[in-house]
Amino acid sequence: MMSMMAVTWTNYLRKRLPLTIRSLHTSKGNELDQILMSPPLASLDLPDIWSSNSASRIIPAIHKSFDDQTTEVLDGKLISMEIRSRIAAKVREMKQCLGKVPGLAVILVGQRRDSQTYVRNKIMACEEVGIKSLVTELPTDCAEMDVQNVIMRFNKDPSIHGILVQLPLPQHLDEEKVLDALCLEKDVDGFHPVNMGNLAINGREPLFTPCTPMGCIELLIRSGVDIMGKKAVVIGRSNIVGLPTSLLLQRHHATVTVIHPFTENPEQITSKADIIVSAAGVPNLVRGNWIKPGATVIDVGTTPVEDSGCDDGYRLVGDVCHEEAIKVASAITPVPGGVGPMTVAMLLCNTLVSAKRILNFN
Amino acid sequence: MMSMMAVTWTNYLRKRLPLTIRSLHTSKGNELDQILMSPPLASLDLPDIWSSNSASRIIPAIHKSFDDQTTEVLDGKLISMEIRSRIAAKVREMKQCLGKVPGLAVILVGQRRDSQTYVRNKIMACEEVGIKSLVTELPTDCAEMDVQNVIMRFNKDPSIHGILVQLPLPQHLDEEKVLDALCLEKDVDGFHPVNMGNLAINGREPLFTPCTPMGCIELLIRSGVDIMGKKAVVIGRSNIVGLPTSLLLQRHHATVTVIHPFTENPEQITSKADIIVSAAGVPNLVRGNWIKPGATVIDVGTTPVEDSGCDDGYRLVGDVCHEEAIKVASAITPVPGGVGPMTVAMLLCNTLVSAKRILNFN
């Protein structure tokens, strides 16, 4: 005879309480704890004990209650300034103690206008916080070996703690080979498969988490949006944003669905989500009816569209139809000024963390 | 002025047609193509071009139409026999040509009854197809160094092409360190972070895909269940089943949601799914009302429950309430006899692939 009776969902008890969870968030050390509010991933890990209690009963409700017309615009620019000022302080401290500063090398292949803008912003941000930066520009038609040689040089350079290859690369270059050549300890973009694997695997900690996903999470945390137990939908599954964002949200105990171009009726899925992170690169993809009233919307899209009224002749446009979304969401990021500055701040953070690790400085 | 007009979902065209997709599935070579129907992952990769057409229009409908009472029981035992016979043929061929056979080393720490059963099954399966197997048993209280030493020995042994550490390990051993010690080229379980990273990242191919997830996909493909464009829900997010299964389903272009104990009202999510893969390890978790009529249900759960009527004094029970599910689903795997034998067949397959790669045999 079977001694264990047929068991249902309601017969299982999760033994953890939110208090325990919360103390875990704060009690463990973090290389970044003076800078970021995001905890180390491994500190978030909890045993998956299937529960009788509907999770809603023991997970605190989403902070923001939606009483219409109070949509908060999540100011990534402001939040990133606060983070950058903490980074600057730490860099100064490092300089005083060791006479050294973190160093970031950026490799830019080709003449893509958007890539040039991104690189320029990163360099300026480094300068501002006292991180040394070096840019190597290569022509669009350079050989793979040329890129590899530059990477090898930076891999060996002890004054460089982070190396970044600005993506996308021209078609003829093998992105996989180029990224694999990066020394793991300097992979501040976090795109190396070992870092991605360790981001995915429960119980492990990547050396670096990709900057945009980390920026999204930091923005959510600093804005008081709970992630645990919430339904999150990530729109887009790129290796640099969608995929790692979905993995990171899952490490934070969201229930994650990834939407991509093969998804049928995506709006039926997104309109159930508490948190939407859109990284499709399609202007106005996310309309008002895609959004649940009171949801939090993070717009990662930055598509350059021509605009003769702008200085550069173009402007960056998000995935979300802002005018419609702002009537429905409880919180939303602007484009520009939302995720973009957070991404840059996370890159500075990763470079600092790398320098601290390599130089054994705390 | 903005030259690109506000664009909606319906203004974008996906340029690929299902025929192209299907030819990709079959045209590229696969180390396993005489054995498995699952294609290499990188051959599945498609550019994510956001589409105007609702995906339903250009993606072939699920093969099985649900006219009640025709629920198909997916016979993993039968399918795995077919796969094993192909493996046996290939092993014979290798032996004739090279005078060598694939070799699998299994490391078993402690006395867990279920682990002992699994290991015994794996060894018997090896024997049957002509793969050499070696089992090293270590006591529950062995030191980490003891496990490491055994791994190092097998890493160097040229007659061993696959190494498997039976999980879970006793609490005092650090699973991360043990798994990291495995030589990547012999990691037939596919649990190394590099393999997991390459499973996740679009455009990459892991050396090995974890056996249970690969078994689930092979079972779906061989049973004529379309994955692309379908809603798939994975219940459970373990590193060995739930996580890699979700990544693999996504590489096959399903829209994937992962359910875990922090998910609120999971049945509301599962009851929308075309494919449910349950790997929670909770008997009878998945009730009839969790399942959409006509869905395909893959039950990975194998919880040992005492049963004095069985030879061993216990029997293995799945996550799915079979009596209820069989009235709703169009296809379902039994426990035992569903995913279990597929997992073992995939382990044999991975060991063969590894031997072919190491010995440069085609």
Average pLDDT per block of 10 residues along chain A, 362 residues long: 36 34 41 75 84 46 53 96 96 97 98 91 97 98 97 98 96 94 97 96 96 97 96 97 98 97 96 98 96 98 90 88 96 97 97 97 90
Whether A318 contacts A301, CB under 8 Å:
yes
- Contact state of B50 with A231 under an 8 Å Cβ cutoff: no
Cβ–Cβ below 8 Å for B203 and A14:
no
Taking Cα atoms as reference points, which of B48, B71, B17, B15 lies closest to residue B255? B48
A72 in any annotated domain: no
Residue for token digits 């903005």?
B2
Q: Chain A contacts of B231, Cβ < 8 Å?
A: 264
Q: Is A4 on the interface with B (CB under 8 A)?
A: yes
pLDDT on residue B66: 54
Answer yes or no: is A220 within a domain.
yes
Is A200 within 8 Å of A248 (Cβ atoms)?
no
Note whether B287 contacts A50, CB cutoff 8 Å.
no
pLDDT for the residue numbered B145: 96
User: Do the domain assignments include residue A335?
Assistant: yes
**For chain B, where are the alpha helices, taking DSSP H only?**
18-27, 41-44, 55-58, 76-98, 113-129, 144-156, 175-181, 193-200, 211-222, 242-251, 266-270, 322-325, 339-359
Examine residue A277 and state whether it is found in any structural domain, yes or no. yes
pLDDT at residue B57, rounded to an integer: 38
Q: Is A140 on the interface with B (CB under 8 A)?
A: no
- Residue B113: which residues within 8 A CB-CB, separation 6 or more? B304, B312, B314
Domain assignment present for residue A85? The answer is no
Alpha helices in chain A (DSSP H): 18-27, 41-44, 55-58, 76-98, 113-129, 144-156, 175-181, 193-200, 211-222, 242-251, 266-270, 322-325, 339-359
Say if A131 falls within a structural domain. no
Instruction: Give the minimum alpha-carbon distance from A263 to chain B in angstroms, rounded to a whole number.
Output: 5
Task: Say what the pLDDT of residue B70 is.
Answer: 83
Rounded to whole angstroms, the Cα distance separating A99 from A361 reads 12
Query: B7 — contact with chain A (CB < 8 Å)?
Result: yes
CB A236 within 8 A of CB A75: no
Q: How far apart are CA B96 and CA A291, in angstroms?
A: 63
For chain B, the domain total comes to: 1
Q: What gap in Å lies between CA B166 and CA B182, rounded to an integer?
A: 13
CA–CA dist A58, A16 (Å, integer): 9
Q: What's residue B48's pLDDT?
A: 80
> How far apart, in whole angstroms, are the C-alpha atoms of residue A181 and residue A175?
10
Q: Which residues of chain B have pLDDT under 70?
A: 1-33, 51-69
- What is the radius of gyration, based on Cα positions, of chain B? 21
Phi and psi (nearest 5°) for A181? -75, -20
| Cβ contacts of B193 on chain A, cutoff 8 Å | 193-194, 197-198, 201, 204
Q: Which domain holds residue B282?
A: 210-339
Residues on chain B touching A210 (C-beta within 8 angstroms): none
Size of interface A-B (CB pairs under 8 A): 204
Buried residues in A224-254 as b, exposed as e (16+ CB within 10 A)? ebbbbbbbbbbbbbbbbbbbbbbbbbbbbbb
Whether B166 is catalytic is yes
Q: Which amino acid is located at A292 in the chain?
A: K
Q: Distances from the Cα of A101 to the Cαs of A156, A161, A272, in angstroms? A: 17, 9, 46
Q: Would A130 be classed as within a structural domain?
A: no
Beta carbons within 10 angstroms of residue B90's beta carbon: 21
**What number is the ipTM of this complex?**
0.88
Ramachandran class of A231: left when φ > 0, alpha when ψ lies in -120 to 50, beta otherwise: beta
Q: What is the model's pLDDT at position B15?
A: 32
Q: How far apart are CA B102 and CA B164, in angstroms?
A: 14
Nearest CA in chain B to A190: B197
Amino acid letter, B232: A
Interface test with A, best of B20, B263, B265, B289 (most A CBs within 10 A): B263
Query: What residues of chain B lie within 8 A of the CB of A229, using their CB?
Result: 262-264
Longest CA–CA separation in chain A, Å: 78
Annotation marks residue B231 as catalytic: no
Cα of A336 to nearest chain B Cα, Å: 16
Handedness of CA B49, B54, B56, B60 (dihedral sign): negative
Count Cβ atoms below 10 Å from residue A157 Cβ, excluding itself: 14
Which residues of chain A neighbour B177 with C-beta distances below 8 Å? Answer: none
B258, B261, B284 member nearest A49 (Cβ): B261
Hey, is the C-beta of A280 within 8 angstroms of any chain B C-beta?
yes
- Check CB contact of A153 with chain B, cutoff 8 Å: no
Contact residues, chain A, for B54 at CB < 8 Å: 264-265
Burial category of A220 from C-beta neighbours within 10 Å (exposed 0-12, middle 13-18, buried 19 and up): buried
Chain B touched by A16 (CB under 8 Å): no
| Inter-residue contact A39 to A28 (CB < 8 Å) | yes
Tell me the whole-structure pTM to 2 decimals: 0.89
B356 is an active site residue: no
A143 touches chain B (CB under 8 A): no
Q: What is the CATH number of the domain that holds A232?
A: 3.40.50.720
Whole-number Å distance between alpha carbons of A88 and A130: 6
Q: Give the residue among A239, A221, A186, A205 at the shortest CA–CA distance from A296.
A: A221
Interface check B175 vs A, CB under 8 A: yes
To probe the interface with B, which of A177, A199, A263, A286 has the most B CB atoms within 10 Å?
A263
Contact criterion met (CB < 8 Å) for A175 and B203: yes
Assigned domain for A53 exists: no
Residue with tokens 């997916």: B74
